[in-house]
Each structure stands twice: as structure tokens, then as C-alpha cells.
């Protein structure tokens, strides 16, 4: 007799790398557990956490608190916390949440079956060891109809930006073997996959320390040559390590999408230096100009921090000025949040919260204006859209992305899911575009090639 598998529910916070890690957890536990979308059915409830700002950490703690009734109702439920807060807090989380069974850090993922077994036998388990050598990620199998995926190509970070907790919670930078990455992406493309996003905290330094060193652009070239793969993206790039070789790849590789996320953090040299970023505003703007030269029409997005310790009004104005000069299509902006173990948390000249809030509002108003302009430039043009699913706000519409990463909503026939469609852009909105499907234009309809796949009711995020 075959016993039904137990049910696994995963709640994920944080960056794309965490989303990819949650997929890995589900895969590693796949022999014992099936994923469920209903938390109340779970036999194993994992929270994959983020520690980047204090708010991210608070969200995890409040979710943990709110799970007490579920645990009371289902005493056999195993509750585990993984990811960056788990790595940072370790044992302390067990004291904070007496109903918690398991805490595992960045590398504990690989030992999950054993850790979960121990927790099931009643042990309160903590595994936050940070050893360096780990097996490569297991090869994945792709479920039918999967046309987009993320592939982690490196882990950890050695940059130690003075504000950032990542090097402490993710450990030292290690690159995966290129052969394993190419095989994984080739298998995805052979199974009908169209779009891959390569992930790492600093993909531009990919390959350092490998037995046979390989640069990131060399890896991109190998992936670009794979048959079937139509869109290649990556995140995140550190501006200091953005080489001319990578800049040129944008003009040359057919599958490499014309979009780059290049976090600048600040436009003031004094602040960039205190952040330990390793570039100046002039270097950054030179790289932006080179990118636009190599790939006219490239869309740039960025991350910005306001209220870093010691940031004056004049420094802040330099950031606004750089935003205008670079002409970002999109920006993710944050109030500086002091993090444990980081150098900037000890700087004496912390900026008051009200000043941070006021600067953030001004910065976001400027970015809204820049985004509106970037969107307006697209109106009237016909573009390629990868149709990702139904629009969240109006389910009768499809939602997809341009190669330049903007979100487009449009009406079209049912079979469009997972296809590359041509869409004429008709309206610009603050966070998305509206378009008109160009009839008969869809190609590579991967989802439709597989009978029995139904449209995901979407998750086209407009983050």
C-alpha cells in the first residue's frame, strides 16, 4: 500500500534567491512531502525569511506569533524557520517562539530531510552551521508547462557593504560549476522553457575561485547558445564589477534581455565611500553611458537607500541628480535600517526617521515621474511580451513582461499563456502598461503544447 505524502507549506519572504531556495526546499523534501497552497492542511510549515531590513525581520516574528493557534489545533505540525533571519538569530528563535520545532540557516537546506525527521521525533533542532563546501544543487525536473525559471549560480557575498547583513547571513561567495548550470538550463530549455533568470548577490564576480575560472559573460555566452532559450536575465549586478565584456554582451547576445538591474544606492561619493561600494558616481554614470551605447533602448533599474548615516541634504540632492542623469526606468528605494554586525550600524551620525521618511517620499515622487516618462515612450510601439498569467487586478486580462521588464496587461485568447506574443502598447500607467494583442502573433506557446495544463491565476508581480 502506498501512503499518501504529507503536506508541505512554504511561506517565502525576501529576494528572488529566497524564492529559488524555497523551490529547492520543496524539491529536496519531495520524496516525503507534496506542496500545498493551503497553510491549514500543512504537516510541515516552513518560513523562508529575510533579514535585510528590520521590518523584514519583524514580519517573520509577527507571522510566527500568529501561528500559535494553528500549532495548538495541530500539535503534530512541524514548524520550521529557514533563511536569513534563522541564520542570524539561531537558538534565540527557539526562545522567542516556544512552538517552533526547527531553525535552519543558509546551508541547512541541503540537510532538510534529516532535520525534519529529527524534529518529527520531538527534538527542537537548530542547524545554522556555515561550512563552505557543499554539494552542487540537485538537478531539477521541470513540471509540464513551466516556461520561466530562476537558476541560482552563486551563493554568498564577499563585498561587505557597510550597511548590509547579507555577508553575515549568507556566508562567503561561492560559484557553482558552469557545467552544472549549463546542464540545468539546457534541460529546462529542452523541456520547453523560454526564460531563465540567473541569480546571485553579485553575479558579475561569478567564477572567482572555480578550478577553471570562467567569467560571467563567458557563462552567458554558453547559455545564449542553447537551443530554445529565448530570454536570459540576471540579478544582481554590482556596478564595480560590471566589465566592458558584460556591457558588450548586451548588444551581442540574442537571448539577453535589454534590461539591467544595477543598484547604485547613493549618488554622493562621500556616502558611496562610507558604504564601501567601491565606485564613484562618475564611474557609475560612465557605465550607464557605455550600456546605453552598446544597447540603445536598454532599461535600467536600481536600488537606492536614503538616510544612510551622515547623509546630508546636499548628498541626497546628488542622489536625485544621478537618478535624472541615469534616467532609471524603475527604482526600489528604502530607508536605511541599521542591521546587526554591520559597520554602518555603529556609525555615530544616524539620520532621524522623519528625515528618512521625507527624503524617501521626495525620491519616490521623482522616480514615479521618471517611470511615467519611460512608460510614455513605449506607447504606440509593438513589443514582444512573454505571457505570464492572468492579471491580478482584472482577471479577464493577460499579464506579461516586455524584454525590458515592464509589465503589460492586455486582452487576448486563452491559449496565449506561456507564449511570446506581439502586443501594441496603447496606454502608460504608473506601474504597468496596457496593450492590444496583435492577432495571430504568438509563438513558442509552451504551455499549450502540453495538454492538461491550465492557466495559473496569476502572479505577475508589479513589485
Expressed in angstroms, the distance from the first to the final Cα of the chain is: 46
- All three cell numbers of 80, joined, read 520550521
Q: Is 79 or 84 the residue whose CB approaches ligand F3S more closely?
A: 84
Our CB check for ligand SAH shows the closer of 100 and 363 to be: 363
Among 112, 157, 223, 360, binds ligand SF4 (CB under 6 A): 157
Sites for ligand SAH among residues 305-334 (CB under 6 A): 305, 334
How wide is the angle at C-alpha 405 spanned by C-alphas 297 and 423, nearest 5°?
A: 85
Contacts 24+ apart (CB under 8 A), 130-138: 130/87, 130/105, 130/106, 130/171, 131/107, 132/171, 132/172, 132/174, 134/107, 134/110, 134/174, 135/110, 136/176, 136/177, 136/180, 137/24, 137/176, 137/180, 137/184, 138/24, 138/27, 138/28
Task: Give the residue with the Cβ less far from ligand F3S, 6 or 53.
Answer: 53
Footprint on residues 359-418 left by ligand SAH (CB under 6 A): none
Which option in ligand SAH, ligand F3S, ligand SF4, none does residue 53 bind, with CB closer than 5 to 8 A by kind?
ligand SAH
Residue showing cell 541628480: 321
Q: 3-state DSSP helix/strand/coil percent for the chain, to nearest 5?
A: 35, 20, 40
Query: Given candidates 25, 93, 166, 323, which one binds ligand F3S under the rule CB under 6 A?
Result: 166
Q: Which does 84 bind (CB under 5 to 8 A by kind): ligand SAH, ligand F3S, ligand SF4, none?
A: ligand F3S
For residues 2 and 383, what is the distance between their CA atoms, to the nearest angstrom? 50
Q: Residue 83 or 412: which CB sits closer to ligand SAH?
A: 83
CB of 163 to ligand SAH, least distance (A): 4
Q: Residues 99-122, buried b or exposed e (16+ Cβ, 10 A)?
A: bbbbbbbbbbbbbbeebbeebbee
* C-alpha 283, offset from chain centre: 25
Give least dist CB 322 to ligand SAH, A.
14
Binding string, residues 248-267; x marks residues near ligand SAH by CB under 6 A: ---------------x-x--
Q: Which residue, among 152, 297, 160, 277, has the nearest Cα to 219 in the 3D structure?
A: 152
191 contact, one of ligand SF4, ligand SAH, ligand F3S, none, CB 5-8 Å limit per kind: none
Non-local (6+) Cβ contacts of 273 within 8 A are none
Q: Which is nearer to ligand F3S, 344 or 421 (CB)?
A: 344
Tell me if 84 contacts ligand F3S by CB under 6 A. Answer: yes
Which 232-291 residues touch ligand F3S, going by CB under 6 A?
none
Using CB under 6 A, which of 50, 67, 194, 214 touches ligand F3S?
50
Residues β-bridged to residue 34: 7
Shortest reach from residue 17's CB to ligand F3S, in Å? 5
Q: Which residues bind ligand SF4 (CB under 6 A)?
A: 157, 159-161, 164, 166-167, 201-202, 238
Q: Which residues bind ligand F3S (CB under 6 A)?
A: 14-15, 17-18, 50-52, 83-84, 165-166, 169-170
Amino acid at each position: 500500500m502506498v501512503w499518501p505524502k504529507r503536506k508541505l507549506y512554504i511561506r517565502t519572504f525576501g529576494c528572488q534567491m529566497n524564492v529559488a531556495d524555497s523551490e529547492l526546499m520543496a524539491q529536496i523534501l519531495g520524496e516525503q512531502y507534496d506542496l500545498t497552497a493551503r497553510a491549514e492542511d500543512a504537516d510541515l510549515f516552513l518560513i523562508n525569511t529575510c533579514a535585510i531590513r528590520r521590518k523584514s525581520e519583524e514580519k517573520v516574528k509577527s507571522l510566527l506569533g500568529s501561528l500559535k493557534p494553528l500549532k495548538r489545533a495541530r500539535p503534530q505540525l512541524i514548524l520550521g524557520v529557514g533563511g536569513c533571519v534563522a541564520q542570524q538569530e539561531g537558538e534565540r528563535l527557539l526562545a522567542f517562539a516556544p512552538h517552533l520545532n526547527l531553525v535552519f540557516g543558509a546551508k541547512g537546506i541541503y540537510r532538510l530531510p534529516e532535520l525534519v525527521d529529527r524534529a518529527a521525533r520531538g527534538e527542537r533542532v537548530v542547524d545554522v552551521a556555515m561550512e563552505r563546501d557543499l554539494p552542487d544543487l540537485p538537478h531539477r525536473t521541470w513540471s509540464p508547462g513551466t516556461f520561466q525559471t530562476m537558476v541560482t549560480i552563486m551563493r554568498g557575498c564577499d563585498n561587505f557593504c557597510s550597511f548590509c547583513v547579507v555577508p553575515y547571513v549568507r556566508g562567503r561567495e561561492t560559484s557553482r560549476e558552469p557545467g552544472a548550470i549549463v546542464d540545468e538550463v539546457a534541460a529546462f530549455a529542452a523541456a520547453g522553457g523560454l526564460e531563465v533568470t540567473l541569480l546571485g548577490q553579485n553575479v558579475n564576480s561569478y567564477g572567482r575561485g572555480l578550478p577553471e575560472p570562467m567569467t560571467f559573460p563567458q557563462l552567458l555566452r554558453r547559455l545564449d547558445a542553447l537551443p530554445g532559450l529565448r530570454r536570459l536575465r540576471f540579478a544582481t549586478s554590482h556596478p564595480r564589477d560590471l566589465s566592458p565584456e558584460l556591457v558588450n554582451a548586451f548588444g551581442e547576445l540574442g537571448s539577453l534581455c535589454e534590461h539591467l538591474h544595477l543598484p547604485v544606492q547613493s549618488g554622493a561619493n562621500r556616502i558611496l565611500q562610507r558604504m564601501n561600494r567601491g565606485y564613484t558616481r562618475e564611474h557609475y554614470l560612465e557605465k550607464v553611458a557605455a550600456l546605453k551605447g552598446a544597447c540603445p533602448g536598454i532599461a535600467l533599474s536600481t536600488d537606492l537607500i536614503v538616510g544612510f548615516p551622515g547623509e546630508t541634504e546636499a548628498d541626497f540632492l546628488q542622489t536625485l541628480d544621478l537618478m535624472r542623469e541615469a534616467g532609471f526606468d524603475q527604482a526600489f528605494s528604502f530607508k536605511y535600517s541599521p542591521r546587526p554586525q554591520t559597520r554602518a550600524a555603529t556609525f555615530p551620525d544616524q539620520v532621524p526617521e522623519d528625515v528618512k521618511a521625507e527624503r524617501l517620499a521626495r525620491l519616490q515622487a521623482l522616480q514615479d515621474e521618471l517611470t511615467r516618462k519611460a512608460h510614455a515612450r513605449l506607447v504606440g510601439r509593438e513589443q514582444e511580451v512573454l505571457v505570464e498569467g492572468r492579471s491580478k487586478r482584472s482577471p479577464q486580462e493577460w499579464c506579461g513582461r516586455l524584454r525590458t521588464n515592464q509589465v503589460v496587461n492586455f486582452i487576448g485568447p486563452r491559449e496565449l499563456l506561456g507564449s511570446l506574443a506581439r502586443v501594441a502598447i496603447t496606454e502608460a500607467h504608473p506601474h504597468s502598461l496596457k496593450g492590444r494583442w496583435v492577432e495571430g502573433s504568438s509563438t513558442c506557446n509552451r504551455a499549450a503544447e502540453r495538454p492538461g495544463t491550465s492557466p495559473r491565476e496569476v502572479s505577475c508581480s508589479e513589485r
